[in-house]
Amino acid sequence: MTIALPRVTLRAPDVSYRAYRVWQRNRDVYLRLWKSEAIWPLAEPVITLLALGLGLGSLVELENGQRYIEFIAPGLLAVYPMWAAAGECGWGSFFRMDNQKTFNAIIATPVSIEDVITGEILWGATRAMINGAYVLAVTAMFVLLDSPLAILALPIIFLSGLMFASISLSYTSIARSISSLNYFFALFVTPQFWLGGVFFPLDVLPGWAERASWFIPATHVVAIYRGLVEGSPQWSHLGDLAWMVVVTAVFYIVALFAMRRRLIQ
């Protein structure tokens, strides 16, 4: 007796130049709403730097004599673009996919599912870069950039945006309701903000917590930005960069296959 086993085939991602059209569609919507969209990324970094950097910072003394506002500035440059990318590929992508049925409308054209997902991730990274440019301008306004190397943060912001957008869209692919995204933001995004080395040095944590922080994506982004802003890049930052590239590639692939599975059901 012979038993016929099901054939499992892995389909190569069908990504083309049409992903740009998906990005372009999201860009055009943003340009219509940019005035309201610009309020949060402009106001919140200023409020945070004033409240925590100057207010709380007057009570905080760092061992190396660095001002607290100078310590947190690179961290804010890392996490605010993270919120933009995660929000765009979390709530934004879910709304376009489930409520507006935009994804279904697009894939009814020659644009493939993979083009849609790639365009969404590229747009999430673009939103991260826009927010990052705002924060960089704010930190410059507060005279917190100690080195011209800080300008190199812009391409890193795009890479980190790709990483957080890919992670976020991977979760969006399995979220059954928009309220399900609360788990992602509460249990993944918020810990990045508070435990990624933004507001305190990680070496003050217990050994196990410091080791666990290595797996937090924002930790690596903050480390790179801190080196660039302070003008003290380290060889270890290349390891942080490689870690980001690997995580981005893994979750991009996960997002492609998980979203394809969801949209063809």
Q: Provide the pLDDT confidence category of residue 5 given band limits of 50, 70 and 90.
A: very low
So what's the pLDDT on residue 11? 62
Would you say 45 and 134 are in contact if contact means Cβ atoms under 8 Å apart? yes
Q: How many CB atoms lie within 10 A of CB 48?
A: 20
Q: Could you read off the pLDDT of 55-101 as tens digits, one per residue?
A: 888 888 887 788 899 999 999 999 999 999 999 999 999 999 999 99
The 10s digit of each residue's pLDDT in 92-143 is 999 999 999 999 999 999 999 999 999 999 999 999 999 999 999 999 988 8
At position 160, the amino acid (one-letter code) is: S
Residue range 103-116, pLDDT digits in tens: 999 999 999 999 99
Position 36 in a domain: no
Owning domain of residue 191: 44-49+63-263
Please, which pLDDT band fits residue 264 given cuts at 50, 70 and 90? confident
Assess if residue 121 is contained within a domain: yes
pLDDT at 53 exceeding the cut of 90: no
CA torsion, ordered 167, 208, 191, 236, to nearest 10 deg? -60
Instruction: Considering only residues 108 and 265, tell me which one the structure prediction assigns the higher pLDDT.
Output: 108
Instruction: Give a yes or no: residue 219 inside a domain.
Output: yes
Q: Flag whether 118 is in a domain.
A: yes
For the ranges 48-52, 63-67, 195-199, 225-229, which has the lowest average pLDDT? Answer: 63-67
The pLDDT of residue 44? 86
Does residue 14 fall inside a structural domain?
no
Q: Is residue 161 part of a domain?
A: yes
Q: Domain tally for the chain?
A: 1
Q: How many helices (H) and strands (E) does the chain have?
A: 12, 0
In a domain, 31, yes or no: no
DSSP letters, 44-97, are: HHHHHIIIIIIIGGGG---TT---HHHHHHHHHHHHHHHHHHHHIIIIIHHIII
Task: Evaluate whether residue 248 is within a structural domain.
Answer: yes
pLDDT of residue 3: 47
The answer, yes or no, to whether residue 2 has pLDDT greater than 80, is no
